[in-house]
Amino acid sequence: MSRKSRIFAVAATLVALAGQGVWAADDGSSAPAATSHSGGRSSDASEELQEVTVTAQHLKPTWAEHNELVQRSITLVYGIADVDFYEEYPPHWSVPVCPLVTGLAREQGVFVFRRVSDIVRSAGAPLGDEECHPNLFIFVTDHPKELLRTMKSRRFLIFGNATPSRIDQFINKSGPVKVWHNIDHGLFFGPVNVVVDRTHLHGISEGQLADYLGMVVLTEIKSTAHLGDTQTILKLFDGPPHAAPDGLSDWDRAFLNILYHPEKSFAVPRSLIGRRIVDELKSVP
């Protein structure tokens, strides 16, 4: 059995433990036609698409305001982007992302699956087709520690070469959403696993949850992220849900877009991203 097949077999076992509903990019039997492949459109003829136009003013900051925005942006990037070395680019996907969502009610699972797929595509990250094998596993469960301990028993397939003590630290750390990326030279090379504690989702909308997941799966966010006063969906669990953005903010979208559209430069990558975010915000129509 190939490594990819073994990973999928392990995932199937974990899915059974995490919940009953499953939505994957490559499994038409478990997902409705509307979501049988990443980002597919509904075939329901009764569904009507409505056009919505949103307008906003361009940012036209003064020199001082521009510098303040740059500092805020760089502070945000340094506060959230986890890197091993100062000069590294934040980790990101280089292989097609193929999501699988389990543990939610049917409509919620379909919504999260489609929304995460849309965010991947919009950011410019590669997105798997209808034949892809899942490599992004999103589990929503009432018993996250139990699920993670089960995952630890297959640690070489899920946690790579991580030591048992590091895996235990990951399992025991507090937090409503835990994300494990396997990273090599700044790129995700193995399955990315996300475990969401359902008991922390009271009052959180499907849109907020999906956008939060889209943000944390497309790069590695620091476990002790410093968000400052910038609007970001990463603040979702920092207070009451109504105090957080309804979804990805302009800052979040700019960060992801720039992460997946890098520029060659001698500048420190995170500083460069911070400066480019301001340029992108200024061009938002």
C-beta of residue 110 within 8 angstroms of C-beta of residue 250: no
Q: Of 36-40, 134-138, 184-188, 228-232, which range is least confident?
A: 36-40
| Closest residue by Cα to residue 34 from 135, 109, 88 | 109
φ, ψ of residue 184 to 5 degrees: the values are: -140, 120
Say how far apart CA 125 and CA 92 lie, in whole Å: 8
All structural domains of the chain with their residue ranges: 3-38+62-282
- Write the DSSP symbol of residue 217: H
pLDDT on residue 83: 85
pLDDT on residue 256: 96
Q: Give the number of other Cβ atoms within 10 Å of residue 275's Cβ.
A: 18
| Closest residue by Cα to residue 200 from 150, 142, 244, 151 | 142
pLDDT at 46 over 70: no
**What would you report as the CA-atom Rg of the chain, rounded to the nearest whole angstrom?**
19
φ, ψ of residue 181 to 5 degrees: the values are: -105, 135
**What is this structure's pTM?**
0.79
pLDDT at 54 over 50: no
**Average pLDDT of span 63-81:** 86
pLDDT at 224 over 80: yes
pLDDT on residue 169: 94
Confidence of residue 19 (pLDDT cuts 50, 70, 90): low
Q: Give me the residues paired with residue 93 across strands.
A: 188
pLDDT at 94 over 80: yes
Residues near 215 by beta carbon (within 8 Å), at least 6 away in sequence: 119, 221, 232, 233, 234, 248, 252, 256
